[in-house]
Amino acid sequence: GQSLEQPSEVTAVEGAIVQINCTYQTSGFYGLSWYQQHDGGAPTFLSYNALDGLEETGRFSSFLSRSDSYGYLLLQELQMKDSASYFCAVLSGGYQKVTFGTGTKLQVIP
């Protein structure tokens, strides 16, 4: 089967940097995605890593190590609006099924 683990909650100060980790177990791995979801809203796609290394998109960066079955999302210059849940998601299998992690609730405090 497939499983993903990420911390349930993280608290960080406005303007700081926070890293949200994700470890996974899966077969037929294609890549790791990250999604942001505000309370009551729909998930929004943030990033996708198919290869090892760091992908940067503005204040957000995502990292993947396939050999370690590990990735993380890095948020820099935190803003209050970054308070949300962040889900890692594994794309795997012959028909591109996505399995979501349990989500990390990020609270940004002043």
Partner 1 sequence: EADIYQTPRYLVIGTGKKITLECSQTMGHDKMYWYQQDPGMELHLIHYSYGVNSTEKGDLSSESTVSRIRTEHFPLTLESARPSHTSQYLCASSEFNPADRNPNYGYTFGSGTRLTVV
According to the 3-state scheme, what is the secondary structure of 52-86?
A: CEEEEECCEEEEEECCCCEEEEEECCCCHHHCEEE
Q: Is 54 left (phi over 0), alpha (psi -120 to 50) or beta?
A: beta
Compute the least distance from the CB of residue 90 to partner 1, in Å.
Answer: 11
Compute the least distance from the CB of residue 72 to partner 1, in Å.
Answer: 18
State which residue, 79 or 102, has the beta carbon closest to partner 1. 102
C-beta separation of 20 from 86 below 8 A: yes
State which residue, 67 or 95, has the beta carbon closest to partner 1. 95
What type of residue is 93? Answer: G
Q: Does 33 bind partner 1 (CB under 8 A)?
A: yes
Q: Does 79 bind partner 1 (CB under 8 A)?
A: no
Which parts of 47-66 interact with partner 1 (CB under 8 A)?
A: 48, 50
What type of residue is 70? Answer: Y
Residues forming contacts to partner 1 in the complex (CB under 8 A) are 30-31, 33, 35, 41-45, 48, 50, 85, 87, 91, 95-103, 105
